[in-house]
Amino acid sequence: MNSAPIGLFDSGVGGLTVARELMWRLPAESLLYYGDTAHVPYGDRTADEITAYGVAIAEHLAHQGCKLIVVACNTVSALALDAVRAAVAVPVVGMITGGAKAAADEANGGTVGVLATAATVRSGAYPAAVTALKPAARVAQVACPRFVPLIEAGRCGFPDSYEAVCDYVGRLPVLDLDVLVLGCTHYAFLASAIRMKLEERTYLVDPAFETAKSVEQMLMDLDLLAAGPASHRMLASGSTDSLTRVNETFFAGRLPAVEAAPVFGTVATASAAG
C-alpha cells in the first residue's frame, strides 16, 4: 500500500491548493485528484446532493486503489465527512479540524473570521470547531458566493475579483479580527487580494497547509509513507479547462493532462454560485 496514491477531491480547482501543499511536504507521494467540474459550485447545493457527490467520489477513489483520501473541499468536509468515512475502508482526512485548530491557536481575544461557501456557513462547522477548542472565541462568518465562479473562470487578479474581495472582507469586523480562515480551498487563489484588503493586520489561516501536515502525520502513524518516485493523475467529471489552466499557471505544467472521469449524480446548475 505504501506506493498507492493519495486521493483528493473537490468541486473544481480548489483542492489543487491542498495537492500543492502535499507535493511540497511529501514529494515521494503519488496523488490522484478528482475535480467535480460537472457539478461546480457546491456552495448552494443541498446537503443531500453534497453528501451524494462526496460519497460517490470517495468510493471511486478507493476503487482506484488510493491508500488515503483527502476531502479537499470545506463544503463536503462540513456537511458529509462522517458519511464519506463510513463509505470507504481507507483513512479519510477533512479540512475543518486543521483550519479550526490553527485559528484557535492564533486567536488572542479578538474575533476569528471565516470566509466560506454558503453551505459551509449554514453548517456552522467552523464556529463549532473553533469554540470547541477555545470556548470564549467569537467567530464571524461571511458567505462568498461570487468567489468560486470567478476562480474557476480564471479571473483572479481581475477587477471583478478584487471587488468581490472588498465586498466580502468588508462585511467582517476587520479592526477586531485576530485571524481570518480561508474556509474554502478555492480561496487561497485570492489570498494576495485578501491580504491587501486586510492591510496585513490579521493572521491568515489556509487550512490546506494544516491538512497536509495532518496527512503526513497519519501516513507516518500508519507506516504508509511512500519511497517514490511520485506519479500524479488529474481527473475531471466535466470541463477540463479550469484544471488545465491551474496546472499551467500554478504548477508550471508539472501535472499530467487532465483525464475524463465518471460523473456521479445528475448534472444540474446550482441555484446560486459558491
Query: Is 22 strand, coil or helix?
Result: helix
144 annotated active-site: no
d(CA 270, CA 274): 9
Burial class (CB in 10 A: 0-12, 13-18, 19+), 142: middle
CB atoms within 10 A of CB 34: 27
Rounded (5°) CA angle 77-180-18? 45
SS3 (DSSP) at 47: helix
Known catalytic membership, residue 73 = yes
Strands of the sheet containing 68-71, edge to edge, are 92-93, 68-71, 6-10, 31-35, 233-236, 259-260
Q: Which of 73, 144, 156, 166 is catalytic?
A: 73
Residues identified as active-site: 73, 184
